[in-house]
Structure 1
Amino acid sequence: MITNLEIALDEKNLELNTNMSSVMHGAIMELVSSEFAEEMHKQAIRPYSQSVYKIDDNKWIWSINTLNDYAAKNIINAITNNNSIYIKNRESELNISNYSVYKTSFDDLFTDNYLGEKRSRYLTMEFITPTAFKSNEKYVFMPDIALIMKSIISKYDTLSTTTDIMDDNLLDKIVEDVSIAEYRIRSRYFYLEKTRIPGFVGRLKLKINGSQNMVNMIHMLVDFAQYSGIGIKTALGMGVVKKL
């Protein structure tokens, strides 16, 4: 099961910005058991993502996504079973009364995209928080079809218990069939303690050629990416993407 928890944040009590996401990750690790925290620290692909971001001019949210039941039990339940959470780095209490929970599944994502309405050959993604990749030990902070799709598929195949997507030729086929039709991208740093990581934010419109199965798969992967995030450090707040 995939679970999304969105908590409304009060700007009066917290100095809100996207870079606060790493502080909120610290609050989660303080809340969960030490065994779970240690287990997550060892995993290259973690079964959750979270970030703080603004959804309109006056509203900030803390969005937490868990990508399996184990993570939901340890993170979502731990948060919602409390009336408030102490944010140690801000010496402030966060009220947990104004929140919403949404659930879906890998099976639902497949059904919606393969058995539902016919999907368009055009798809627009909005990268809300700085997004970047690591390639050859260097940061890549420009949108690249191969890196975007490889990141999503790696997370999907690691966390799905029903289907695997990647095969030897799939990524080459995606690069052949998917192209960037339009973009409005700008660079933005993500600040993590004393480190700044280069990333990009903005909109990317994709054109999908090839079979309808290819179209359906790309839509399904981007739907999943709305929960998993894209690229590096999605547990700390980077790589939030929405499908428009």
Structure 2
Amino acid sequence: MKKVELHLSKTRLKDEELVSKLQGFLMAQISPDFATFLHEQETNPYSLNLCSTRDESVWVVNLLSEEAEQQMLAPLLNLETIKLESYAEEILVKKVEIHSLSQQTLLDIYQDDDASHLIRVHFYTPTTFKRQGQFVLFPDTRLIFQSLMQKYSRLVEGRAEIEEETLQFLADHSQITSYHLKSHYFPIHGRKYPAFEGRVTIQIKGASTLKAYAQMLLKFGEYAGVGTKCSLGMGGMRIEERKD
């Protein structure tokens, strides 16, 4: 898996508007056949998000399969400028950074006998889950791990379904012990999705294997994203060191 970070010159667009336009721009850079293939997938083999500071915007594109790397990496690396539809100014690509996450690294995390029982997670772009047809404004551990297990099963293991017993066991032995969240409505194609941003601390109770499994899933989530609409700018997350 590859994480491509493109450091862009600032624009006058809000992050939500810019990331939507960048997603459309990206689809125009790849082959029509692969773009059609992506639209047909239940779980996309890429995720993307965007965060801006006073000086720049950082567009992150995560490539989660070999085919996604083959089809999308070169077009991203070749970018020097970006010209968006309905936006007059040219966007400069100032710097590109690439990070990798291998299956061996994930396996090493899973085999760690000293995994911490407390994990601090930062949802740094608006995040939402869907349960029984409704979007959920507040996270719980079952929703978090269900999303990550589904993405991992489909994208890494090549299996359509997850083990429900494993999910239930993980949900029963984990809880959110602290949080600092704010609600946020994220617009996509004219619709506003209820979402949240911020930080939570998750406690895992049980054997070291369970703690390590949770750590592995959350590390995978730094690339795959968590929740729904991760290919449209939502669900960006990272593990943070706790300051105890």
TM-score by length of 1: 0.91
Following TM superposition, by how much is the alpha carbon of 1:172 offset from its aligned partner in structure 2, in angstroms? 1.1
Q: Relative to structure 2, which stretch is displaced further, 86-95 or 32-41?
A: 86-95
Following TM superposition, by how much is the alpha carbon of 1:166 offset from its aligned partner in structure 2, in angstroms? 3.5
Please tell me whether residue 67 in structure 1 is matched to residue 69 in structure 2. Answer: no
Following TM superposition, by how much is the alpha carbon of 1:193 offset from its aligned partner in structure 2, in angstroms? 3.0
Following TM superposition, by how much is the alpha carbon of 1:44 offset from its aligned partner in structure 2, in angstroms? 1.2
Where structure 2 has 5 or more consecutive residues not aligned to the other structure, the ranges are none
Q: Kindly provide the amino acid, as one letter, of the partner of residue 131 in structure 1.
A: T
Q: Which position in structure 2 is the counterpart of 1:152?
A: 148
Check conservation: 2:186, 2:192, Cα contact below 8 A. Answer: yes
Q: Relative to structure 2, which stretch is displaced further, 201-210 or 83-92?
A: 83-92
Please tell me whether residue 187 in structure 1 is matched to residue 186 in structure 2. Answer: no
Q: Which position in structure 2 is the counterpart of 1:93?
A: 90
Following TM superposition, by how much is the alpha carbon of 1:162 offset from its aligned partner in structure 2, in angstroms? 8.0
1:87 aligns to what SS in structure 2?
A: coil
Q: Which position in structure 2 is the counterpart of 1:38?
A: 36
2:200 aligns to what SS in structure 1?
A: strand
Q: Which position in structure 2 is the counterpart of 1:211?
A: 207
1:108 aligns to what SS in structure 2?
A: helix
**What RMSD over aligned residues (CA atoms) do the two structures have, in Å?**
2.0
Where structure 1 has 5 or more consecutive residues not aligned to the other structure, the ranges are none
Please tell me whether residue 103 in structure 1 is matched to residue 103 in structure 2. Answer: no
Can you list the C-alpha shifts for 1:66-96, whole angstroms capped at 9, x where unaligned?
A: 0011101211211112332322242343333
Check conservation: 1:5, 1:64, Cα contact below 8 A. Answer: yes
Q: Relative to structure 2, which stretch is displaced further, 102-111 or 196-205?
A: 102-111
TM-score by length of 2: 0.91
Q: Which position in structure 2 is the counterpart of 1:10?
A: 9
Check conservation: 1:106, 1:162, Cα contact below 8 A. Answer: no
Q: Relative to structure 2, which stretch is displaced further, 79-88 or 231-240?
A: 79-88
Q: Which position in structure 1 is the counterpart of 2:20?
A: 22
Check conservation: 1:146, 1:171, Cα contact below 8 A. Answer: yes
Check conservation: 1:4, 1:103, Cα contact below 8 A. Answer: yes
CA distance in 2, matches of 1:150, 1:234: 15
Identity of aligned residues (%): 25
Number of residues of Structure 1 aligned to a counterpart in Structure 2: 240
Q: Which position in structure 2 is the counterpart of 1:79?
A: 76
